[in-house]
Every structure is written in C-alpha cells, then in structure tokens.
Structure 1
Amino acid sequence: MATRPRQRSRSLVQESGVSVFAITGANGQLGRRLVRSLAELEPGVPVRALVRSAAAAASLGNLVATHPLLDVRTVDFSNPDSMGPALVGVTRVVHLVGILRETPGNRYADAHEGAVAALIAAASRNGVGQLIALSILGADARHQNACLRSRGRADDLLRGSVVPATVLRVPMVLGGEDPASRALAARARRSWSVTFRATSLEQPIDADDVVAALRSLLGVPLGDLAPLAGAALDLAGPESLSRKALIDRAAALVGQQTRVFSLPVAFGYALAFALERALKAAPVTRAMLGVLDHDDCIDPAPAAARLGIELTPLDMTLRRVMALA
C-alpha cells in the first residue's frame, strides 16, 4: 500500500505560543478533521468549536468524548455580540463557515459577508491575533456568479481586516466521507453516468492536505504574521483534469469501467432556473451549478511551498475515496 506523503511537522504549542484555538463551522467535514488532527498531534492545545445550532453541537459528541480540551459553543455567526463571549481568551480563529446553495433562510450575503463582518468585529474586540479563512478557488468580488461573488466580497473584508487575516482558497475537497467523494465514487462504480459539461476542469485536493495547510498557518508565530496578513493563497491538488477523466480514473483504480455522457451545461442552467421558480428551496440553483462548473487549473506549487506541505498524489486520494465513500 502506498505511503502518504509527510507534511512538515511543527509543534503549534512551541511555535505559535497559542492559548486557545477557535474553529467556526467545526461540525463540517474539514472542521472535524482539523479538530481530530489537533487532538492527535497537539493534545495540549485547547480548541473551541463554534457551531450555529444545538443539533450541530450534539453531532460533535464523539469528538468531545475523545478530546477533553474541546469546548463546543453555539453562536449566531451573524451577530458579533453572540460570537464575542465564545472568543474570549482565543488567540487564533479558523473560519470554515460558508454555503454552496443559497436558500430563503440562508442567503449568501449573510453566510459569507455577514458572518465575516461579525467575526472581524468580535475578534477585534477580544484581542484575537490571527484569522484564517477557507474560501473557494475562483472567488472574486467582481464575478458574475452570485456565490463566487459573495465569497470574493467576504475574502476582501478579511484581507482588509484590522485583525491579521489569511484566506486559503481551494477547489473540490475529497476526503472519502463527504458528499463530493460519495458522488464521485457512485459515478465511478456505475456502468454509465450523466454529467453536465464533462470537459469541465477539476483539480481536487485531498482533505488531509487542506488540514495540513490550516495547521501550517496556525503554526506561524504571531510576531511573524506580517507577510501573511491580507494574503490570499490559492491551493489545489497536484493534477487538473476533465470531470470525465476524473471519473474514469477513479473507476480504473478499482478495476471498473464506466461511460460518462455529457449534457450541455445550458440544459443544467435551464433546469436549475425552473427549479428555482417552482420551489422555495431548490435542490440545485444556477449559482451552485456555476461553482461546480468552474474550471480549476492552477499551479499549486507556490502555495504548497509557502505552506511547507507536500500534496497527496491524486491516485492516493482517489483510492481512499473509492474505499470509504
């Protein structure tokens, strides 16, 4: 069995002198992985998990049982007064809150710009020394896509924050136990599947590499944050390939053969528009489809080198996806 590349090992306690970390959206896939990573590699680091509901807090019960220094708090991410008490004594915050699909009760502006504005206000009042935020590759305040535009505006707020902030932008994240992994594995196992614009370029990154990148940023001493304050790092997996090639590759790794049929993306947008008109909370929206159809093709080496991490080979990631999803 292939050995996973090792990331540069650094002690967060020794190098950052941290007292308490806070993770917003800690109940998500990456939040859980980050909590587990800190618990295993840095057992002396207190972690405060910020979530938006009692149900989300309850979902972290197993992590609380295995990580005695994990403190779960339920907060309103849009309200700095609600977030403030949860940030008392916190030195660094990793912000993982964001949405792909907008609903009437959860708008992009509230989930992205509103949450970031509240975080900055609460962090500045409580003396937080560093903010690290996860965003989407392609986010741009001038983008025509509503989701990418909203993400871009939130990124700009962070980059201009009075609290030193760094934005990490990534594409599709594959961890084996997440919706993207399950969807990919399901397509790869079928004899045939249908997708919109199969030539769309994907550059998936391993979930463990994202966690390693976040840990690297957390390990920078507070006195050395100046070069990272206001920076946006674009990180992706080691290979960019078409959606069809990605599905074929995943199938081949487990001895499967599959056929991928491509539909015009315009048909997808028309279907999404019809669903938006017919339903209050459409399962697929035009903005969501636009993000999924975004072509991802960057050189990840500069960001990986700056972060001191080694990217997991795509085949290794796909083998785990096919084994776990």
Structure 2
Amino acid sequence: MSEQVTDGVLVTGANGHLGRLLIRALAHDPEAVPVRAVVRSERAARSLDDLPHPERRDVRIVDYRDRAGLTEAARGCGTAIHLVGILKQTRVNRYVDAHERPAEALSAACAEAGVSRIVHTSILGADPASRNGCLASRGRTDEILLASPVPAVILRVPMVLGPGDPATDALRRQATAGRTSLVRGGAAVQQPIAAADVMSALLAAARPGMPSDTVVELGGPESLTHRALVERTAAVLGADVRFGTTPLFAAHAFAWLAETLFADPPLTRDMLGVLEQDDAIDPEPARAMLGIELTSLDAALRAAFAEESAP
C-alpha cells in the first residue's frame, strides 16, 4: 500500500458494499493511510461505525453533486476512489443524478483540491453509444472522468461476488429456492469476480506509477452461463435446484409494466438489459497490468457464502 497512496484517500459511496470493503482494507494497512469517507446521509454515516480503526476515518456527509462540498472533503487527499453508481433508475433516482452529475462535481472538486488521481468503478459494457440507458449513462460518466484535468483510471468490472453483495444475495435466493425460473433459461454469459480481487485492483490502480487516463476491463477467471453459475452456487451451499424458463419477451413485458405502475419498480428494462448482457473478456491483460492475482470462481463462491457453505 505504501507505493499506492502518499496522502489520504477520498472514498465516495463509502457506505456501499465495495466502499465498506475498501475502508476495511485501508484500515488494516500498516501505513495507516487516513480515509475521508463521503456519504449522503446521517444514517449512511452511522452505518460505518462498526468498521475498524475509526480514528483513521473522517466521515463527511455531502451530496455527490455538490462541487463545493466535495472540494472541501477532498482537501488533503492524494487519491479519490469513486464508488458511486446505480443499476436501477427510478422516478426519483435518475441515472444522470447518480452518474454524470456526481462525476462532473468530483472532477472539478479534485482538480481544485489538488487530488493527484481518480479511480472509478464502472461496469463492463459501459458505452455512451449504448441503447441501454444504464450502460450509456455509465459510458458518459467514464468519459467525463477521463476528460478530467486530474489523471483517472476507469475500472470496469462484471458481477461482484462477496458477502452481503446484492448480486451474491440474488444468487443465494435462486440457488436455494428449490425451483427457480431464469430469463432465457439462464443463457446469459457471466464472468463474476471476487470482491477481494476488486479491492486489490482498486488499490493497484491508485499507485502513482500505474497508467492513467485509461480504461481497465477486469473480470473473473471464468465465464459461464447464469444457469451454470446458479448450479455452482447450489453445490457450494449444499442445495438442490431445478430450473424453469422465463421468455425474454415476458421479462420485458413485466419490466415495462413495473415501470408504468411503480415509482420504484422491482425490475426495469434497462436493468434487465444489463443483467442479460454477455460478459466474456480476457482478464489476463488487466490482471498483469495491475499486478494482482485472481480468485477462482469456486473459491470466490466459498468466500462469499463462508457461513453457509456445505461441509
């Protein structure tokens, strides 16, 4: 870690799953790097109270779109790690307010505060030209940060496997339901990555010697269909699972209806599009550049379900 950060680390979205893992990793670093944790509410701030070494942590409550507030929070930090993003847009939580506007504010704030590097987590498939609203918004956000006067590294990752992660919880529910119906029978190809590997990648990307103004696409070491992933999860949990198929048109129809009826729908068409895209990249170039090792899928699943795994 001593080669990565010389001053404090600004962490936006600090109360999210990855934010908590990152703060925990930094708390155990022997260099005792101070953390400036940025969250949006008192409740989010309190959620960090159980993390180790609170004396190294300065929690700030700031709207992610507030340039002045972020500038003040960033002062004294050498690196900003931006973990803000949503998969599902609702009537009151729009992609532009969750992605582009926070990125614009962070870029300006870091430049004014003298931050030397921004590391941002994005998702595989992010592309401003995408027809999918989430992927397009993510792609525009990546471009905003790459155009920043502060050197930036964009880390695009697929599904993340870790204890308490929403995707991991969804896998658990599917694997232990007895019978689960998957969209297209679970044909989507996925490349899940261990949360611990994402932490290693973020910290590696923060090193001063790493290339900047670049996009790094990193996935787990294995690509497989969603059905096969549920089967592997069931095996780890000692569960038996049978499968049904939900046609894609039916899932789209449900998502459209949910968007029409609910302010906060359980599923949206953009969300469905991200979940059903195929992730199958070669992780080796990014792994080698970052200088990290990747956890095998089975080991990642065992770690994610450590308290529930079959003996």
Question: Fold conserved (TM > 0.5)?
Answer: yes
Structure 1 Cα separation of the partners of residues 173 and 304 of structure 2: 10
Match for residue 94 of structure 2 among 107, 125, 137: 107
Q: How is 1:227-266 mapped onto 2 (pairs within 5 angstroms)?
A: 228-266=211-249
Offset of residue 110 of structure 1: 1.2
Q: Check the 8 A contact 1:177/1:324 in 2, yes or no.
A: no
Aligned residue in 2 for 1:7 = none
Q: Check the 8 A contact 1:182/1:321 in 2, yes or no.
A: no
Aligned residue in 2 for 1:318 = 301
Match for residue 41 of structure 2 among 44, 50, 53: 53
Q: How is 1:95-134 mapped onto 2 (pairs within 5 angstroms)?
A: 95-134=82-121
Aligned residue in 2 for 1:284 = 267
Aligned residue in 2 for 1:32 = 20
Aligned residue in 2 for 1:177 = 164
Question: Secondary structure, in 3 states, of the residue corresponding to 2:55?
Answer: coil
Structure 2 Cα separation of the partners of residues 89 and 135 of structure 1: 25
1:305 aligns with 2:275: no
1:208 aligns with 2:196: yes
Question: Secondary structure, in 3 states, of the residue corresponding to 1:41?
Answer: coil
Structure 1 Cα separation of the partners of residues 117 and 30 of structure 2: 18
Q: Check the 8 A contact 2:5/2:79 in 1, yes or no.
A: no
Q: Which runs of 5+ in 2 are unaligned?
A: none
User: Which amino acid letter does the alignment assign opposite residue 247 of structure 1?
Assistant: V
Offset of residue 30 of structure 1: 0.7
Question: Secondary structure, in 3 states, of the residue corresponding to 2:215?
Answer: strand
User: Which amino acid letter does the alignment assign opposite residue 214 of structure 1?
Assistant: L
Offset of residue 179 of structure 1: 1.6
Distance 1:17 1:109, change over 3 A: closer
- The share of aligned pairs that are identical, in percent, is 46
Offset of residue 66 of structure 1: 2.9
Aligned residue in 2 for 1:6 = none
Structure 1 Cα separation of the partners of residues 146 and 290 of structure 2: 18
Distance 1:184 1:324, change over 3 A: farther
Structure 2 Cα separation of the partners of residues 140 and 150 of structure 1: 8
User: Which amino acid letter does the alignment assign opposite residue 292 of structure 2?
Assistant: I
C-alpha deviations, 1:26-67, integer Å up to 9, x for none? 10111111111111124520011011111111111112x633
Offset of residue 189 of structure 1: 2.0
Offset of residue 259 of structure 1: 1.3
Question: Secondary structure, in 3 states, of the residue corresponding to 2:96?
Answer: helix
User: Which amino acid letter does the alignment assign opposite residue 161 of structure 2?
Assistant: L
Q: Check the 8 A contact 2:92/2:263 in 1, yes or no.
A: no
Offset of residue 182 of structure 1: 1.4
1:194 aligns with 2:181: yes
C-alpha deviations, 1:76-112, integer Å up to 9, x for none? 1112012111011111000000011112222101111
- TM-score, length basis structure 2: 0.95
Q: Check the 8 A contact 2:36/2:57 in 1, yes or no.
A: yes
- TM-score, length basis structure 1: 0.91
Aligned residue in 1 for 2:149 = 162
Q: Check the 8 A contact 1:147/1:288 in 2, yes or no.
A: yes
User: Which amino acid letter does the alignment assign opposite residue 297 of structure 1?
Assistant: A
User: Which amino acid letter does the alignment assign opposite residue 173 of structure 1?
Assistant: V
Distance 1:145 1:324, change over 3 A: farther
Structure 2 Cα separation of the partners of residues 125 and 59 of structure 1: 29
Structure 1 Cα separation of the partners of residues 53 and 212 of structure 2: 34
User: Which amino acid letter does the alignment assign opposite residue 26 of structure 1?
Assistant: A
Structure 2 Cα separation of the partners of residues 132 and 109 of structure 1: 19
C-alpha deviations, 1:100-139, integer Å up to 9, x for none? 1112222101111111000001111111100000001100
Structure 1 Cα separation of the partners of residues 50 and 31 of structure 2: 16
Aligned residue in 1 for 2:70 = 83
More helix as a share of residues: 1
Distance 1:16 1:171, change over 3 A: closer
Distance 1:58 1:302, change over 3 A: same
Offset of residue 191 of structure 1: 2.1
Structure 2 Cα separation of the partners of residues 176 and 17 of structure 1: 27
Structure 2 Cα separation of the partners of residues 49 and 184 of structure 1: 29
**Structure 1 stretch displaced more, 259-268 or 85-94:** 259-268
Question: Secondary structure, in 3 states, of the residue corresponding to 1:193?
Answer: strand
Question: Secondary structure, in 3 states, of the residue corresponding to 2:305?
Answer: helix
Structure 2 Cα separation of the partners of residues 39 and 298 of structure 1: 32
Question: Secondary structure, in 3 states, of the residue corresponding to 1:315?
Answer: helix
Question: Secondary structure, in 3 states, of the residue corresponding to 1:91?
Answer: strand
